[in-house]
Amino acid sequence: MTPTNYELVVDCCLLAGRLMMESGAETYRAEDTMDRMAISQQLTESQSFVMPTGIIFSGNKTLPTKLVRINNRSTD
């Protein structure tokens, strides 16, 4: 996987997780969705950590980890 493709996959996973958290989803559902999205793109060693205020995501052990902050949240 090229670095550009890796970045696109990670950005898509983070976007999905952020949208879910902003819409009131449970943290485990956001983590599960992000992991499933990564696996579908051959990132089988992905790790996600979702909190109500932020998401940390890594596609594998050697490439960069990214963080996104959750500013607006709602509870469903």
**By CB neighbour count within 10 A (0-12 exposed, 13-18 middle, 19+ buried), where does 53 fall?**
exposed
**In the chain, what are the domain boundaries?**
3-69
pTM reported for the whole predicted model: 0.89
Rounded Cα distance between 25 and 6, Å, is 25
Nearest to 58 by CA among 1, 5, 21, 11: 11
pLDDT of residue 30: 96
Angle (CA) 27 9 39, round 5°: 65
Residue-wise pLDDT for 4-48, tens only, equals 788 999 999 999 999 999 999 999 999 999 999 999 999 989 999
